[in-house]
Amino acid sequence: MLVSMAACLFIIVSQQLSSMSFGTQSELQVDPLRLIEAVTSGVAFLAAGIIFTSDGEVKTTTTGASMWLAGAIGLACGSGQMPLAAIATVLVVIVMVLLRVVERWMGTH
């Protein structure tokens, strides 16, 4: 759920950035869509590094997915999409709380 929400947020932010004016083609110094590529690959590298196995069980996948989503929310904030970032943050908190309730109910945590 968190990874799919992050991917959705990355696409929405990239659509917003691609429609923004950054000057004429000759004045353009930075490709704004490369910012998204840099954040996604950098944060994905860090998130993958935090996932590990212990006694044959995969641990901290939620932490890794949360890191990727934090990168997406940061990009939304940086591109001026504060309402979108706020909605994503609220949805993440709801998902995390509901997952914790379900885990406790099932007795897996």
Instruction: Give the pLDDT score at 85.
Output: 94
Could you tell me the residue ranges of all domains in the chain?
A: 2-9+34-106
The pLDDT assigned to 36 comes to: 82
Helix (H) or strand (E) holding 57: strand 57-59
Encoded tokens for 46: 């860090």
Confidence class for position 58, pLDDT limits 50, 70, 90: low
Once rounded to an integer, what is the mean pLDDT over residues 68-93?
91
Residue in the block written with tokens 């998130």: 47
Average model confidence (pLDDT) across the chain? 81
pLDDT-based confidence at residue 73 (cuts at 50, 70, 90): very high
Q: Write down the number of H helices and E strands in the chain.
A: 4, 2
**Interior/surface letters 49-71, b for 16+ CB within 10 angstroms, e for the rest:** eeeeeeeeeeeeebebbbbbbbb
pLDDT at position 37 is 82
**Can you say whether the dihedral through the CA atoms of 41, 42, 47, 53 is positive or negative?**
positive
* pLDDT, tens digit (0-9, with 9 covering 90-100), for 29-56: 667 777 788 888 888 777 777 766 667 7
